[in-house]
Structure 1
Amino acid sequence: MAPFRIIIVGGGIAGFTAAIALRATDRQIIVLEQSSLNKEIGALISLQPNAARIAGLEWQLEQDFLKAQQMVDEGFRIYNTDGDLVRTIPLATKDKYGAERLLFHRNDLHEALKKAAISPERAGDPVVVRVSCRVLECDAFRGTVTLEGGEVVEGDLIIGADGIHSVLRKHVVEDNPSPIPTGHSAYRLMVPTEILEREEPEFCAKINPREPFTSMIVAHNCRLIMGPGRQGEVYGIVALVPDEQMTEDPALKQSWVSEGNIEKMLETFREFPSWVKNIFRHSPDLGLWQLRDMDPLTNWYRGRVILIGDAAHAMLPTQGQGASQAIEDSEALGSFLNDVHETPALDDLSKILEVSGVVLKG
């Protein structure tokens, strides 16, 4: 019996959770990642209860997440620019949804998912991960992808988990839309908490960077969203700002791993008080993510290819659901393909993808 060969293009959260969801005996799963997976600008990421529930109950990742130094977010705190607490919104998500809102350092979550995908101790055959593999072309009906350098990799199913600038999308959707700028960008920073406590006592007197809360300041057409990670060892900051002061070319393929400019950021926040602005200078890295949107796709699958995550439905970060929706995609795809354990005929696979594509979109 020939094994079910699955190619996942993209080694991010969507790619590795798809690998976890699809692992089974007699399946050969390979993840093709264009980067070397050795450098990510520090950032916090949250998993909402819908995703945390799947990861815990369906995939038994609780211990993996504890090792990844997860934190449970206890609520939102909104401050004014004087540092006064204006409103607290407690989170009682476990009682209502059966899971918590979890905070991670993005690197830690990513590494935990990768280890789970390749672990020989989990059910099913371990996933193979190939880095520095840039996919240039795809034949949706033959089930092949062509890598930079000319190598052709063949599979029975190809999953496009390669983000908003997906290479595979043009092979699925004829009128492949281009991501469009929203007029806003997001700076991402990560500061060691002990440095904040030593160098910025005024900030820490107003907002405790070790407490498990998401804190926000909204003023002057900008928004700061801040919170702890790694059990309080680091403090993450996302600064949403208008695009008009950005020097980046919107026509270029930006992503949040682009490098930001601290002086330009400080100029954007010039109207904020010093107790806020001073913390920006302590981050060893400054990432800049131009927020882009995309019209809904007319289709998510074609032949042996299906899109998931940002490749299928890019989202803005306002509700923190980007990664969580990718996890929902992976869980649903795993369910639809649960009974496929050998090479599927194209017609049989197309019927499964047709149903799953409709359900995922709906």
Structure 2
Amino acid sequence: MSPAVFRIIIVGGGIAGFAAAIALREPNRNITVLEQSSLNKEIGALISFQPNASRIIQSDWGLDLQNARPMVDEGFRIYNTDGKLINAIPLLVKKEYEGDRLLFHRRDLHDNLKQHAMSDFSSGKGNPVEVRVASKVVKCDVLSGIVELETGEKLSADLIIGADGIHSVVRRYVLPEEPQPMPTGLSAYRLMISTEILEKEEPDFCSKINPREPFTSMIVAHNCRLIMGPGRQGEVYGITALVPDEQMNEDPNAKQSWVAEGDLNKILQTFSEFPDWVTSIFKYEITDFPLKDRCSPIIQRHSSDLGLWQLRDLNPLAKWHSGRVVLIGDAAHAMLPTQGQGASQAIEDAEALGAFFEDISDPPSPEDISSILETVIQARYSRASLIQAYSRQAAKPGTMKGENTVTM
């Protein structure tokens, strides 16, 4: 008689979800990722892995990230609005932390993790993960381990992982009083520009900041911040523009991040006190072309692809798990991007799940599941909550508004 299979459902097909799938792949396990979108594609933006995450991905999991075209970030450079370098902080982290700070195009990283989760990339790692798109979860029974989809279909598992982001559906079934993501006083524009076009059309900018060099560059002035860096090994240049909420243009009723369409005139107005060599680059935007079709980015001279969203985060939750269900990533500890640790903490969550379930091959009892999940959370909660606080603290003065201010 064949042994019973350990069934795992992961709600959410983003970076956190696929990281958990990779970490939990073992013989005698069936893992299903439920993704609400029909395409399961990440948006086009830059994302970083800090050394704590890159060490796990490359050394502990042994994943080949070359298809994701990572760049090693060699340091931070801070410029004034005249384009003068006023501070440089080298990142000499490889020796101390056994990992680099890596920069990715978010879609490339997502595709790479998805490929590893779904492929038979090594013997002894169990069955490839099944990914079901257009599978929106609307209900979750934490005790019985049953999720219900929007279609009415019900699926059961021994372990359910809520990796469905800051607006998590699963979270409301873990916590009796679900907290709501809080506005933080900051909003952000994000855009991606072809480096080739920058070099051709904006020589003044490129004479001050070389968009191909592997550095994160920042300009902080007039209560606004520009954080910029290269991706795809210098092929694209990503820009995040942080602005106070009173200068944002997002639909305040929007439930999802990235849904708001930015307005070129609005961002130019917001940065009107910045010099032309900076603001002139905002008018260039490229369509988010797939990695295999990198031949001719289309120059857009309007803001149809300019993303704008209000930055929100969560106070530390009272708990991350109930019954057979556990929350990870932004569903458990959404944090601001100021420390660059959002995705990296999701990787740590996945690593903890993989480690504490490593010796479990048969379906665990509800009591064993709950005990193991409690151990996972004991290992993760204080660290993730502290980084949440650091991330919010680093966003000041934009977050110095009453209840949103962190006391440390």
Mark yes or no: TM-score above 0.5. yes
For residue 203 of structure 1, give the secondary structure of its aligned residue in structure 2.
helix
Distance apart, 1:257 and its partner CA: 4.8
- Where does the alignment leave 5 or more consecutive residues of structure 2 unmatched? 287-304, 383-408
**337, 346, 351: which one pairs with 2:371?**
351
**305, 308, 318: which one pairs with 1:298?**
318
Distance apart, 1:109 and its partner CA: 0.4
Sequence identity (%) = 67
Distance apart, 1:358 and its partner CA: 2.1
Q: Deviations over 1:27-69 (max 9, x none)?
A: 00000011123554321100000000000111111x2x12211
Q: Mean Cα displacement is larger for which, 339-348 or 139-148?
A: 339-348
Give runs of aligned pairs for residues 305-344 of structure 1, distance below 5 A: 305-344=325-364
Amino acid at match of 1:267: Q
Q: Mean Cα displacement is larger for which, 239-248 or 186-195?
A: 239-248
**52, 58, 65: which one pairs with 1:50?**
52
Give runs of aligned pairs for residues 1-362 of structure 1, distance below 5 A: 1-37=3-39, 39-61=41-63, 63=64, 65-122=65-122, 123-284=125-286, 285-362=305-382
RMSD: 1.2
Amino acid at match of 1:114: K
Distance apart, 1:290 and its partner CA: 1.3
Q: Distance in 2 between matches of 1:104 and 1:358?
A: 31
Q: Number of matched residues?
A: 360
Amino acid at match of 1:333: L
Q: Deviations over 1:317-357 (max 9, x none)?
A: 00100000000000001111111112211111111112212
Q: 1:247 to 1:208 in 2, by over 3 A?
A: closer
Distance apart, 1:282 and its partner CA: 0.5
Distance apart, 1:231 and its partner CA: 0.9
Q: Distance in 2 between matches of 1:97 and 1:280?
A: 36
Q: Mean Cα displacement is larger for which, 30-39 or 49-58?
A: 30-39
TM-score calculated relative to the size of structure 2: 0.86
Contact map agreement 1:306 1:353 (CA 8 A) in 2 = yes
Q: Distance in 2 between matches of 1:78 and 1:227?
A: 12
Q: 1:40 to 1:263 in 2, by over 3 A?
A: farther
Q: 1:157 to 1:286 in 2, by over 3 A?
A: same
Q: Distance in 2 between matches of 1:10 and 1:103?
A: 23
Q: Distance in 1 between matches of 2:325 and 2:43?
A: 30
Contact map agreement 2:250 2:260 (CA 8 A) in 1 = no
Contact map agreement 1:119 1:126 (CA 8 A) in 2 = yes
Q: 1:260 to 1:38 in 2, by over 3 A?
A: farther
Contact map agreement 1:8 1:32 (CA 8 A) in 2 = yes
- Where does the alignment leave 5 or more consecutive residues of structure 1 unmatched? none
For residue 236 of structure 1, give the secondary structure of its aligned residue in structure 2.
strand
Distance apart, 1:289 and its partner CA: 2.5
For residue 360 of structure 1, give the secondary structure of its aligned residue in structure 2.
helix
Q: Distance in 2 between matches of 1:339 and 1:244?
A: 52
For residue 195 of structure 1, give the secondary structure of its aligned residue in structure 2.
helix
Amino acid at match of 1:236: G
Moved over 6 A (4+): none
Q: Distance in 1 between matches of 2:60 and 2:259?
A: 31
Q: Distance in 1 between matches of 2:339 and 2:270?
A: 23
Higher relative contact order (CA 8 A, sep 6+): 1
Q: Mean Cα displacement is larger for which, 347-356 or 220-229?
A: 347-356
